Amino acid sequence: MSKANLLDRRQVVSTLLANRNDVVAIGGLGASTNDMCAAGDHARNFYLWGGMGGAAMIGLGLALAQPKLPVLVITGDGEMLMGMGSLATIGLQKPSNLSIAVLDNEAYGETGGQTSHTSAAADFVGVARACGINDSRSVTTMADVEAFAKAVHDVSAGPRFANVKIGSAGLERILPTRDGTYILNRIRGDLGFQPI
Ligand SMILES: Cc1ncc(C[n+]2csc(CCOP(=O)(O)OP(=O)(O)O)c2C)c(N)n1
Ligand SMILES: [Mg+2]
């Protein structure tokens, strides 16, 4: 696909979260967290900041604990590569309320744009499907993004996975708070739990 046609990450994330209602959103480290914050900070956003490789597993835990809530993981290709084994566990557990969107710029953007494995043979959609996540999509248009955003709300038909090919532009950092305890207790409070 020509680089000119690649999707804009901010537009992708703001579309994924536009009509979020009760969606709980987990942001992978760095750029995807910035994208989520740019779309609007929210009590149900859980940002990983620098913790690499855990986004999908945190999503799995939340999805299992809150089976009626739509849980959406938004992460990068580098972060997902580090946590690729989690796709096997998600394919095994099959939480029907979990959706994962990988923002695939084929690079470790945040650390200088080193090319990642997805610029070569690594194919997340194939991996996710082979792990048992039957609804695994390659997303290349905004219409595909809108369809996925809609599907996220169907908590009975997941898990689902989308690999979204995005451009590699480095964008302004829109930073949420770095206070992890605050982020955790804010989401706990919004879900009706006491702070820890
Ligand atoms: C365990 C660990 N190793 C390395 C890093 C450094 N690091 C921070 S962001 C990043 C790249 C992330 O790439 P990707 O998930 O594709 O996000 P992008 O910036 O490309 O959107 C790396 C390697 C880290 N935070 N943690
Ligand atoms: Mg990347």
Mind listing the pLDDT tens digit for each residue in 149-158?
999 999 999 9
Q: In this structure, which residues have their CB less than 5 angstroms from ion ligand 2?
A: 76-78, 105, 107, 109
- Spell out which residues line ligand 1, taking CB within 6 angstroms: 28-32, 50, 52, 76-79, 103, 105, 107-111, 116
pLDDT at 11: 98
Section 130-141 average pLDDT: 98
Of 158, 149, 131, give the one whose Cα is nearest residue 62: 158
Mind listing the pLDDT tens digit for each residue in 36-76?
999 999 999 999 888 899 999 999 999 999 999 999 999 99
CA 27/CA 44 separation, integer angstroms: 11
Q: Starting from the CA of residue 106, give the closest ligand.
A: 2
Handedness of CA 64, 70, 74, 78 (dihedral sign): positive
pLDDT at 127: 98
Burial 144-157 (b: 16+ CB within 10 A, else e): bbeebbebbbebee
Tokens at residue 60, please?
């799995």
CATH number of 3-190: 3.40.50.970
